[in-house]
Amino acid sequence: MFQMLDVSLHPHLTEISEKVTFEANHVLFKQGELGSEFYVIRSGEAVIDVSGNMEILKGGDYCGEGALIGNGTRRATVMAKTQLDCLQISRSKFEALGLHEKLQFPKREKVNKRHQMMARGRHNTVHMSNISREFEEAMMYARASTKAEKAAEKRSYMEVQCSVLQEIFSERINVTVFVLVPLGLFCKWKDMGPGIIFASNFCAIIPLASILGQATEHLSTHTGQLIGGLLNATFGNAVEMIMCIQAVRAGLITVVQGNLLGSVLSNLLLVLGMAIFASGLVRKEQHFNAKGAASNMRCQLVASISICLPTVFHYVSENQSDDAVVSISRICSILLMLVYGMFLLFMLRTHADLFKDEACDEEEEEGLSPSFSAILLLATTYVVFLASECLVESIEEVSEKYNVSKAFIGVILLPIVGNAAEHSTAVSSAYKGMMDLALGVAVGSSTQIALFVVPCAVMFGWVFDQPMNLDFSMFDTVCQMLAVFLVSNVLSHGETNWLDGVMLMTVYALIATQTLYIVED
């Protein structure tokens, strides 16, 4: 925890540490209040309550790190479950030694509602089952008093909006947008060469994707659950959608097909593999809800079959015209979009208990208003449109100049742009033991792409009079079918280990290697 401090400073930590003891049900601190002490638990158990999401803290865990760095505002309520022996470090003593300038604590994971919607909040109920009824009532009382205190500290409308916008744009990934986006557009304006234009706009879209996801999250909180789910499904994959629209309009059908396939493969193999491996680094086996994963994988299998059938039809029916394949693809796409609509209805209405939103019991936090959320969403979408236009226009020249196949650009490089934020969320969540959430992000995102973004790309081909179809190459189709069957097998038992993660990443590396050698017609 203090590994960033030089070893010579460790004795100072001992000097400023004090041993303290708390009786059971004692509230160490409440969410929203100012704090000045940091605690390391030596023995006993405590419960940390972050807006209704509870976790057990045991010996070796810590809490109250905001008192040592940041503004000192408590982001959670912590109560002793049993008698608690702790080491206490006060902020005044810590800053007197200048240690606050040499230390950075990892922030607790912030997971947006799109990811919460895709995952079942199973780990929360597991923690709650270990808490006695009396203790649960005590925590509810502490939480209620915290809400009352917060109600008395309501800020003005503009203060809230400015504060939330500042929080969004000050995040480590998002703040780079102010440098990368102007740089990408400047490189295009000065015509600095396809490689520089591609690389600069490639990097610029990564923070834009993160901001776009957060804007969608804030807007969806002001709508009903079903409308919010549709918003998340539509704008959650807006980067992939916009790049596909740009590429379809430019007639780069193989790039679009490769990008869509790559998004599915990267989520199913690379992201899921990295998440399982990360979790395996700190625990022998990872357990998760197999039923929730199975429902997503069945939808993924339906999408794979819909792509496989037009491809097989084209190969076995040599006398059929290309128009027949396009027509079949459009019919299949309409059916896929209907399936996805029914899947959302199943997940958000008829069987919502199977996909319980982790945030359903949380208090409503102050966020962007509908108007500010819509403005941020539309503005970010427009900037993504500009950056993706520069990116897509440079693909042809990059492929020719640097002898890189379009298949590699579409299947491997472009999916990294749209899924960077989700990749980070899935891996960090799995490392912290939240495998259900990691699976929801990785598998759920690939399901959204396969059932929603892929048919949308075909529909836009219809609009732009381009022969966009579901006749992916035989190599692409085989890769997708094998990946779906492999992941289904890995997730079928409700538990995994680090070796499963290695296997998934290895298959992804094999596919990436072979796409380098694909020769375009």
Q: pLDDT-derived band of residue 234, with 50, 70 and 90 as boundaries? A: low
Q: Between 312 and 131, whose confidence is greater?
A: 312
* pLDDT value of residue 179: 92
Assign 234 to helix, strand or coil: helix
CATH 2.60.120.10 for domain 7-151: yes
What Cα–Cα distance (Å) separates residue 486 from each residue in 84, 198, 274, 290, 297? Answer: 46, 33, 15, 15, 11
Output the average pLDDT for the chain: 78
Q: pLDDT-derived band of residue 144, with 50, 70 and 90 as boundaries? A: low
Place of tokens 């020769």: 519
Contact predicate 208/388, CB 8 Å: no
Contact predicate 32/149, CB 8 Å: yes
Q: What count of other Cβ atoms lies within 10 Å of the Cβ of residue 465?
A: 8
For residue 114, pLDDT beyond 60: no
Name the segment(s) of the chain with CATH classification 1.20.1420.30.
Answer: 157-515
Q: pLDDT-derived band of residue 519, with 50, 70 and 90 as boundaries? A: low
- What long-range pairs does 159-167 form, CB within 8 A, spacing at least 24? 160/366, 160/367, 161/368, 161/369, 161/372, 163/366, 164/218, 164/366, 164/367, 164/368, 164/372, 165/368, 165/372, 165/376
Q: pLDDT-derived band of residue 145, with 50, 70 and 90 as boundaries? A: low
Give the distance, in angstroms, between the CA of residue 336 and the centroid of all CA atoms in the same chain. 24
Determine whether 233 is exposed, middle or buried from the number of CB atoms within 10 Å of its CB (0-12, 13-18, 19+).
Answer: buried
* pLDDT value of residue 445: 77
Provide DSSP, 150-214: HHTTPPPHHHHHHHHHHHHHTSTTGGGHHHHHHHHHHHHHTT--HHHHHHHHHHHHHHHHHHHHH
As a whole number, mean pLDDT of residues 391-419 equals: 81
Assign 59 to helix, strand or coil: coil
Contact predicate 146/362, CB 8 Å: no
Distance CA 394, CA 261 (A): 21
User: Which pLDDT tens digit goes with each residue over 474-506?
Assistant: 888 888 889 989 998 888 888 888 999 999 999
* pLDDT value of residue 261: 85
Proportion of the chain above pLDDT 90, given as a percent: 8
Fold of 157-515: A middle domain of Talin 1 (1.20.1420)
Pairing of β 77-80 and β 37-43 = unpaired
Q: Which phi-psi region, left, alpha or beta, contains residue 466 (left: φ > 0; alpha: ψ -120 to 50)?
A: beta
Distance CA 117, CA 343 (A): 12
Amino acid letter, residue 460: F
Q: Between 260 and 110, whose confidence is greater?
A: 260
As a whole number, mean pLDDT of residues 86-111 equals: 67
User: Which pLDDT tens digit goes with each residue over 309-351?
Assistant: 888 888 777 666 678 888 888 998 899 889 888 877 877 777 7
Q: What count of other Cβ atoms lies within 10 Å of the Cβ of residue 3?
A: 6
Contact predicate 445/425, CB 8 Å: no
Tokens at residue 81, please? 């479950």
Phi, psi (deg, nearest 5) at residue 42: -90, -45
Name the segment(s) of the chain with CATH classification 2.60.120.10.
Answer: 7-151
